[in-house]
Amino acid sequence: MARNICVVVTARPSYSRIKSALRAIDDHPDLNLQLVVGASALLHRYGDTIDYIERDGFDITARVYMVVEGENPIASAKSTGLGLVELATIMDNLKPDVVITIADRYETLATAVAASYMNLPVAHVQGGEVTGSIDEKVRHAVTKLSNLHFVATQKAAERVQRMGEDPESVFVTGCPSIDLAASIMKNTELDFDPFVKYGGVGSTFDISDGYLVVMQHPVTTEYKEARRQVTETLHAVHESGLPTFWFWPNVDAGSDGTSKGIRIFREQNHTANIHFFRNMSPIDFLRLIYNSRTVVGNSSVGIRECSFLGVPVVNIGSRQTGRERGSNVVDVESDRTSILAAIRQQVGHGHFPQENIYGDGKAGERIAELLATVPLSFEKRLAY
């Protein structure tokens, strides 16, 4: 009998991090995909991720609305509680054999808690990584709630085992987001017009001589600094004069400050070199990144996919502190002078050699095969 695999996708980055595994699960003869989509993945202001999921041909089994307005620590805590309530009902209806939760967001924690209390085996993707802030606390908490661990690197596997998890439950699969990056290497050409296909807000400009891509999210433990931090980046990018595609932040504590900082800067400055987008399909986004001169901000995309693609990165601030990174990354503080200098340095360098830190492009296949064959039990055998 096929195993029912419930995957909970709750945000723009969650989908790109699990898409190849969704496809492999859906195609596997011994697995039945139960896809639950919720939180910001359902909301227009965060990029209509659910539309991209449906366009990719996936059937949505259930939807869960769980985002409390506020974009601050209180709203994040309440959203976690609401997600726990709603997801428990969905899991009771679906009765999956395994629940997959992704990475380190508050929705990830709600998913893992609900499944654990219902005695459902939990499989965690991207555990064992170090970044600081609340994300790391959530990631490690989810590790202790999980029964199967699909980690991206050997160092991550070692951390999970040092936390007391059974080595036989820890598998170095690589990161599914690298599968998507590998797929575009067959055709890296930017074969679409970003302005025409995705609209967005701001001036249009010539990108034939290259461009920057910016993704900057609030740091949840520094959420009161979000507006100041994004303003520093805006000044640096504006002063660079380089054509820039800027993506809206995730729904996290402090994202209201980031958004406000962007809006005020646009009102007070002539941002002719910056165009703003909410979202793109994962493949189009990766092609856009590959053809950029530098990626700027604090997204894990700069650490993960860009190391595989060899794209220069200016990583700002503390959001990715401790995460394994390639030679393509320059780390700077949230200071406009330092950011601008790093942008010029990276633009002048050009592409870096490819590094397979986070995988080789086959993570989705490995995850699906493990889900079909590994013995399942909600009881955990600890390695103390």
pLDDT in tens, 278-314: 999 999 999 999 999 999 999 999 999 999 999 999 9
Whether the CA torsion 321, 323, 324, 327 is positive or negative: it is: negative
Q: Are both 192 and 331 inside the same structural domain?
A: yes
Task: Encode pLDDT of 146-180 as tens digits.
Answer: 999 999 999 999 999 999 999 999 999 999 999 99
Band of pLDDT at residue 206, cut at 50, 70 and 90 = very high
- Say which residue, 194 or 223, is predicted with more confidence: 194
Query: What pLDDT band is residue 255 in, cutting at 50, 70 and 90?
Result: confident
**Per-residue pLDDT, 131:** 86
Q: What is the mean pLDDT of the chain?
A: 94
Eight-class DSSP state of 46: G
Asked whether residue 132 carries a pLDDT value surpassing 80, the answer given is: no
| Cα→Cα distances 65→5, 9, 69, 85, 134, Å | 21, 12, 12, 11, 22
Residues 202 and 345 in one domain: yes
Are residues 79 and 197 located together in one domain of the fold? no
In terms of domains, do 88 and 204 share one?
Answer: no
Q: Answer yes or no: is 91 within a domain.
A: yes
Residue 245 lies in a domain: yes
* Residue 17 sits in the same domain as residue 82: yes
Question: For strand 122-125 and strand 148-151, is the pairing parallel, antiparallel, or unpaired?
Answer: parallel
Note the pLDDT of residue 143.
97
Q: What is the Cα–Cα distance from 329 to 104, expressed in whole angstroms?
A: 22
High-pLDDT (> 90) share of the chain, %: 87
pLDDT at residue 381, as a whole number: 53
pLDDT, tens only, 368-383:
999 999 998 655 555 5
Using the 8-state DSSP alphabet, how is residue 64 labeled? E
Structure tokens at 366: 């490995």
In this prediction, residues 227-255 reach a mean pLDDT of 93
**Stretch 17-34: mean pLDDT, rounded?**
97
Q: Residues 15-42: what's their mean pLDDT?
A: 96
Answer whether residue 311 is part of any domain. Answer: yes
CATH number, domain at 93?
Answer: 3.40.50.2000
Is 240 inside a domain boundary? yes
Residue 107: its pLDDT value, please? 92
Q: Are residues 160 and 222 both part of a single domain?
A: no
Q: Do 59 and 169 share a domain, yes or no? A: yes
Exposure string for 288-318, b = 16+ CB within 10 A, e = fewer:
bbbbbbbbbbbbbbbbbbbbbbbbbbbbbbb
Q: Measuring CA to CA, how many Å separate 111 from each of 167, 193, 221?
A: 23, 37, 22
Confidence of residue 384 (pLDDT cuts 50, 70, 90): very low
Give the number of other CB atoms < 10 A from CB of residue 356. 14
Assigned domain for 28 exists:
yes
Q: Calculate mean pLDDT across residues 109-137.
A: 93
Same domain for 139 and 235? Answer: no
What is the reported pLDDT for 44? 86
* Structural domain total, the chain: 2
Establish if 379 belongs to a structural domain: no
Residue with tokens 């070692």: 158
d(CA 223, CA 175): 28
Q: What is the mean pLDDT of residues 305-331?
A: 96
In the chain, the percentage of residues whose pLDDT exceeds 70 is 98
Mean pLDDT of 78-103: 97
380 part of a folded domain? no
- Provide the pLDDT for residue 47: 83
Q: Are 319 and 133 in contact, with CB atoms under 8 Å apart?
A: yes
Range of the domain at 333: 184-349
Domain shared by 14 and 86, yes or no? yes
Which residues have C-beta within 8 Å of that of residue 44, sequence separation ≥ 6?
278
Do 131 and 206 share a domain, yes or no? no
Asked if residue 204 belongs to a domain, the reply is yes
**Letter string b/e over residues 97-109, b meaning 16 or more CB atoms within 10 A of that residue's CB:** bbbbbbbbbbbbb
Rounded Cα gap, residues 168 and 375, in angstroms? 11
Q: Which helix (H) or strand (E) holds 22?
A: helix 12-27
Residues 155 and 222 in one domain: no
For tokens 């995909």, name the residue.
33
Question: For 258-272, what is the mean pLDDT?
Answer: 92
